[in-house]
Structure 1
Amino acid sequence: MITATGVELRAGSRLLVENANFRVGPGQRVGLVGRNGAGKTTLTKVLAGEGQPAAGTVSRGGQVGYLPQDPRTADLSILARDRVLSARGLDDIIRRMRETEGEMASVIDETRDAAMERYSRLEAEFVAGGGYAAESEAATICASLALPDRVLEQPLGTLSGGQRRRVELARILFSGSDTLLLDEPTNHLDADSIAWLRDFLKVWSGGLIVISHDVELLEAVVNQVYHLDANRSALDVYNVGWKKYLEARETDEKRRRRERQNAEKKASVLMAQADKMRAKATKATAAQNMAKRAEKLLSGLEESRKADKVAKLRFPTPAPCGRTPITAEGLSKTYGSLEVFTDVSLAIDRGSRVVVLGLNGAGKTTLLRMLGGIEKPDTGEVVAGHGLRLGYYAQEHETLDTSRTVLENMRSASPDLTDTQVRTVLGSFLFSGDDADKPAGVLSGGEKTRLALATLVVSGANVLLLDEPTNNLDPASREEVLDALRRYEGAIILVTHDEGAVEALNPERVVLLPDGEEDLWNKGYLDLVTLA
């Protein structure tokens, strides 16, 4: 159970929410919604105990399982399977059991008895933690999230960003926590895994707070909605499901508008009367009282909802370049004994549009990182053509320097721009005032997405490498990104699970990994996008 009392959240000097009060207990499945930058991620971090409110208190009863938007695992050498099992401490028990089994097989008789006794204690501890049934449960969750055995036996450091995030999701779902806090859990999931997750959460008996832009998931899962209104710095609690919430919210907005219009009309009449009465000295006090009544009428009203601001994304005309600004010959990559792909070649012509498809782990992100010069191929080479200027959008935002401010990241992307020009672009991406001076590391996933896209806008790139650019975006911001893709005149190489992004790109070619085969794009490939 999680209880919030009088919680106030701030981002620098900006008020995100004040006096929020709620309790999430067993059976309450909450959808936390609001536009990008409203403070949803900040709130979940505070609820998880990874941040402190500016005011108020948060109390937690029982175990809380928290999936952040960009989970970071410190030890990348740990096997994926052990990472999942660590949620219940089973990984350490299993490791010690295996070590003890080895001792039992190799030591002399007088030591073997001690090893056998230690093994019996470990086995009892293993059974108390759920034993083989728990292992089977973890395996089922992993398989449902498209994490096969070959992936689970690999160190986390060899996995793609999407695979690592699915490992973290599996770990949280396996943890047996009393309350789950899930921030965009469907990112990097294929269609089958999303359907499974919906069914899993739909019958979840513990507490749940989920941030998601997946309307189908919200409709199927949540029985309460918390709307974080960025314009009013208020958290509105609706004790209904998704569809009824939409109706209730619209009714609330109509009520606010109606009440304000009536109050403004009455206040206007009172002020006009007060102005007339002020002309007479004998009625000065009455006029003053009438003016105060008018002010009181307006001060007690809730603000009408203002239209949510949306980042304005427009790519400028790309820098001039040769006919084929980038080519790749014979690229291959292997992690240990795992061959990701081999002998991949492609040539990207000026203004061309290519979508890269493949199952999770097929090397889509690795290929983009090679083209972007971030990762070296084991064989082959990437050749820059005349005038190449690359812009790389990384799905985990690793191109951002999280230790530097928003403004400093933008200056690095385009040193030639003046401070005023940089701040103007940032303003169009909804970073204004003190927001520009925040460290990039404290931004939410949606804010990092906006900042990364802003750096692309000022880069003048003529080839864009885009890895899941619509993740973490609210519907309105996503439409802005898709519209920018349609209008961009340079070349684009896109990796995405978003069918809408592919349709907006209107690609000419498709590259299929891990084989590296190329084909002309046709609608038949659209079915592979969400499965990839």
Structure 2
Amino acid sequence: MISASGLELRAGSRILLSDATMRVQPGDRIGLVGRNGAGKTTSLRVLAGEDHPHAGEIVRRGEMGYLPQDPREGDLSVSAKERVLSARGLDQMLRDMEKAQSEMAELIDDRQRDKAIARYGRLEERFAARGGYAAEGEAARICGNLGLPDNVLPQSLGTLSGGQRRRVELARILFAAAEAGPGGTSATTLLLDEPTNHLDADSIAWLRDFLKAHDGGLVVISHDVDLLESVINKVWYLDAVRGEADIYNMDWKRYQEARADDEKRRRRERANAEKKATTLRAQADKLGAKATKAVAAKNMARRADKMLSELDEEQTSEKVAKISFPEPAPCGRTPMTASGLSKSYGSLEIFSGVDLAIDRGSKVVVLGLNGAGKTTLLRLLGGKEIPDSGVVEAGYGLRVGYYAQEHETLDHDASVWDNIRNVAPETPEQRLRTTLGAFLFSGEQLKQPAGTLSGGEKTRLALAGLVSSAANVLLLDEPTNNLDPASREQVLDALSSFTGAVVLVTHDPGAVEALEPEKVILLPDGNEDHWSEEYLDLVQLA
């Protein structure tokens, strides 16, 4: 359970939320919504105890599971399996058992071996008493349903992609939440920020069913309308204009109707108030011409001002980033080629023998099941990792723009302005400011550290960097994640009109349709084929 009162949240000097009251109880399944930059991610971080409010009090009771948008680093040497089992304290017990088992096999002295056998027996008894063996199977099932097959679980977190690490963290949180308490129900409050990112269609469907059955509390940020429609029973709407949280104790469909009615009411109240205020001011002007009525005129003017100030500010239409990619820098006919690329992490081979050629202006989609190496391939092409074998060769005039799904190309400690300046140091300052303005960054927000931005804002900043780079080959890894519907449409429009080459990894069929690809690369085999509509069905499954 979480209870917050008098909550005030800020991003720099900008007030996101003022004097808000929020309460999460068992059985509450709350959708936290609002436009990009309204403070959704900040609110969730504060509720989870990851950050402090500017003012207000928060009381937390019971267990909590928090999934941030970006994967946590932590100890990358532990295996995916150990990380998931740690949610119930089973990871250390399992390591102790494995150590005792090794000692049993290695010891020659009979007495020492007997001690190791006895120690292993005690550990196994404790492990079994905690439901260890059944829990291992349960954890594996959750991982499998989230697109983490058995061969990934023994791998260390450091060898996994950012998307895989985030799925491990989601599996860990759900594994903890699935453990029933003394009353047979879960007391865990789940705080999930875009949990469907990096999941395929089957995993998203499974997650929806899991969350519907969850009897603890839930607060979820998501642009997945199907998830919101099927799961939530309450909505918190963060109004970026008023700096307030509107609470709707109803499901998604009824919320949309109620929200539309509320906005109509506010516009009506505003129009009526403005009409009355105009009449009062006209009367004040008439009375003000007479010296004997001057006091009455001032009182009328004050009443008119007060009438307007007590009303909500008129809702402004949501601003949308005006994204367009400039003409790419000139380049040769084939600005990028790769031959014989292979990559392994530990004993896990991701792919081998991948050959490709990216021609000027070509559009390519990379498809493959989760873990097939789509992100890894983009990182190799972008020079972010070195292949185990093979080579990536730059053709004449190559200029690469790389968009990472985990925003790793951003310097989270640097400001918005410093990030864009570092990407395009030779571009005139005014042009950079114009570009940032088109992506909805201006004023004091230019001084804001990139690490404090919401996921959608980080996406916009990273895309602004691509626009400023005049790249002729764009490597795009899930570019529509974390974007509200209006911003997503802008990104897709920009993608469809870009004249340079694009290599795209995505689960978003709309992004593929906007790209109009000519080629598809299928991983892990690295086979290349001409694009056809038949492949579109594989996009959400990949």
Q: Report the TM-score, using the length of structure 2 for normalisation.
A: 0.95
What is residue 18 of structure 1 aligned with on the other side?
18
Q: Take 2:370 and 2:259, find their aligned partners in 1: how far apart are those partners?
A: 38
Which has the larger displacement, 71-80 or 214-223? 71-80
Corresponding position: 1:511 with 2:518: no
Partner residue of 1:155?
Answer: 156
Q: CA deviation at 1:405?
A: 1.6
Compare 184-193 and 310-319 and name the one that shifted more: 310-319
The correspondence for 1:349, drawn from 341, 356, 359, is 359
Pick the aligned partner of 1:307 from 303, 317, 323. Answer: 317
Q: How does 1:286-297 map to 2 (within 5 A)?
A: 286-297=296-307
Bigger Cα displacement from structure 2, 466-475 vs 424-433: 424-433
1:343 Cα deviation (Å)?
A: 1.2
Q: Is the 8 A contact 1:329 1:346 kept in 2?
A: yes
Question: Cα deviation per residue 1:466-507 (whole Å; 9 max; x = unaligned)?
Answer: 010001111111001000001111111101000000000000
1:475 maps to which residue?
Answer: 485
CA distance in structure 1 between the aligned counterparts of 2:174 and 2:470, rounded to whole angstroms: 43
Aligned counterpart, 1:35: 35
1:119, distance to aligned residue in structure 2 (A): 3.9
1:52 match: 52
Distance 2:403 2:72 in 1: 19
Matched-pair contact (CA < 8 Å) for 2:400–2:473: yes
Shifted more, 11-20 versus 412-421: the winner is: 412-421
- Per-residue deviation, residues 73-110 of structure 1 (Å, max 9, x unmatched): 32212111111101111010111122233445537455
The residue that corresponds to 1:94 in the other structure is 94
Confirm or deny: 8 A CA contact 1:329 1:343 kept in the other structure. yes
Counterparts of 1:260-299 in structure 2 under 5 Å?
Answer: 260-299=270-309
Of the three residues 256, 270, 294, the one matched with 1:246 is 256
Partner of 1:141: 142
In structure 2, distance between residues paired with 1:8 and 1:128: 46
**How far off its partner does 1:509 sit?**
0.7
Of residues 184, 195, 201, the one that matches 1:191 is 201
Shift of 1:419: 2.4
The alpha-carbon deviation at position 209 of structure 1 amounts to 0.3
Aligned counterpart, 2:380: 370
> Retained in 2: the 8 A contact 1:364–1:495?
yes
Contact 2:71 / 2:162 at 8 angstroms: preserved in 1? Answer: no
Aligned-residue offset at 1:59 = 1.1
Tell me how far apart the structure 2 counterparts of residues 58 and 107 of structure 1 sit (CA, whole Å). Answer: 58
Aligned residue type for 1:190 = D
Residue equivalent to 1:420: 430
Aligned residues: 532
Distance 1:343 1:98 in 2: 36
1:360-387 deviation line (CA, Å, top 9, x unaligned): 1111111111111121112221111111
Alpha-carbon distance between aligned partners in 1 of 2:422 and 2:291, rounded to the nearest angstrom: 65
- Aligned 8 A contact 1:46 1:53 in 2: yes
**Residue 286 of structure 1: CA displacement?**
1.5
Q: In terms of mean alpha carbon deviation, does 400-409 or 450-459 score higher?
A: 400-409
CA separation of 1:117 and 1:215: change in aligned 2, threshold 3 A: same
The amino acid across from 1:46 in the alignment is: V
The corresponding residue for 1:490 is 500
CA spacing shift, 1:278–1:128, aligned 2, 3 Å: farther
2: CA distance, partners of 1:15 / 1:75: 35
Instruction: Give the superposed CA RMSD.
Output: 1.5
Moved more, 325-334 or 199-208: 325-334
Q: CA deviation at 1:232?
A: 1.2
1:59-70 alignment runs, 5 A limit: 59-70=59-70
Deviation at 1:203, TM superposition (A): 1.2
Residues 225 and 107 from structure 1, CA distance in 2 versus in 1: closer, same or farther, beyond 3 angstroms?
Answer: farther
Q: Which moved more, 1:92-101 or 1:120-129?
A: 120-129
Corresponding residue for residue 84 of structure 2: 84
Q: Does 1:167 align with 2:168?
A: yes
Deviation at 1:442, TM superposition (A): 2.0
Partner of 1:277, secondary structure, is helix
Shifted more, 178-187 versus 396-405: the winner is 396-405
Paired letter, 2:282 = A
Q: CA deviation at 1:224?
A: 0.3
Distance between the aligned counterparts of 1:276 and 1:128, measured in 2? 87
> What CA distance in whole angstroms lies between the structure 2 residues aligned with 1:71 and 1:343?
30
Aligned positions of 1:386-465 closer than 5 A: 386-465=396-475
Task: Give CA-to-partner distance per residue, 1:217-265, whole Å, 9 cap, x none.
Answer: 0000000010111111111110000010000000000000111111111
Q: What is the CA–CA distance in structure 2 between the aligned matches of 1:130 and 1:121, rounded to whole Å? A: 14
Work out whether residues 332 and 397 of structure 2, in 8 Å CA contact, stay in contact via their aligned partners in 1. Answer: yes
2:342 equivalent to 1:332: yes
The whole-number CA distance in structure 2 between the counterparts of 1:288 and 1:128 is: 79
Contact 1:145 1:166 in 2 (8 A): yes
Contact 2:6 2:56 in 1 (8 A): yes
Larger mean CA deviation between 98-107 and 138-147 belongs to 98-107
Other-structure match for 2:246: 236
Q: Secondary structure at 1:369's aligned position in 2?
A: helix
Q: 1:226 aligns with which of 201, 226, 236?
A: 236
Equivalent pair of 2:417/2:446 in contact (CA under 8 Å) = yes
Q: CA contact under 8 A between 1:497 and 1:530: conserved in structure 2?
A: yes
Distance 2:23 2:103 in 1: 51
Question: How far 1:444 sits from its partner (Å)?
Answer: 2.0
Q: Which whole-Å CA distance do the structure 1 matches of 2:530 and 2:360 have between them?
A: 17
Counterpart Cα distance in 1 of 2:112 and 2:379: 52
Name the stretch that deviates more: 401-410 or 261-270: 401-410
Whether the 8 Å CA contact 2:413–2:451 is kept in 1: the answer is yes
Cα 1:102–1:462 shift into 2, 3 Å: closer
- Listed as ranges, the gaps of 5+ residues in structure 2 are 178-186
**Residue identity matched to 1:136:** G
Are 1:162 and 1:360, in contact at CA under 8 Å, matched by a contact in 2? Answer: no
Question: What's the CA shift string for 1:113-162, capped at 9, x where partnerless?
Answer: 65455445434542453322222221211111121110111111222222
Distance 1:299 1:409 in 2: 39
Q: Deviations over 1:279-316 (max 9, x none)?
A: 11111121122222212211211122211111111101
| Residue in structure 1 matched with residue 123 of structure 2 by the alignment | 122
Secondary structure of the 2:151 match is helix
> Which of 200, 220, 235 is residue 210 of structure 2 equivalent to?
200
Structure 1 SS opposite 2:474: strand
Give the letter aligned to residue 270 of structure 2.
Answer: R
On the 8 A contact 1:348/1:491 being kept in 2, the answer is yes
Question: Could you tell me the percent identity over the aligned residues?
Answer: 69
Q: How far apart, CA to CA, are the structure 2 residues paired with 1:102 and 1:486?
A: 58
